[in-house]
Amino acid sequence: MELVVLVGLSGSGKTTFFRARFAQTHAHVSKDLFPHNRNKARRQQHLLQEALEAGQSVVLDNTNPAVEDRSDAIVLARTCGARVTGYVFPRDVPASIERNARRVGKARVPDVAIYSTAKRWQTPTLEEGFDRLFTVILTPEGSLEILPWDDLRVDQGRVGVLGGGD
The answer to whether the pTM exceeds 0.75 is: yes
pLDDT score of 157: 58
- Separation CA 82–CA 127 (nearest Å): 16
Query: Tell me: the pLDDT tens digits for 113-133?
Result: 999 999 999 999 999 999 999
- pLDDT, one tens digit per residue, over 9-45 is 998 999 999 999 999 999 999 987 766 767 888 999 9
The three-state secondary structure class of 131 is: coil
Any idea where the domains of the chain sit in the sequence? 2-162
Domain 2-162 belongs to what architecture?
3-Layer(aba) Sandwich (3.40)
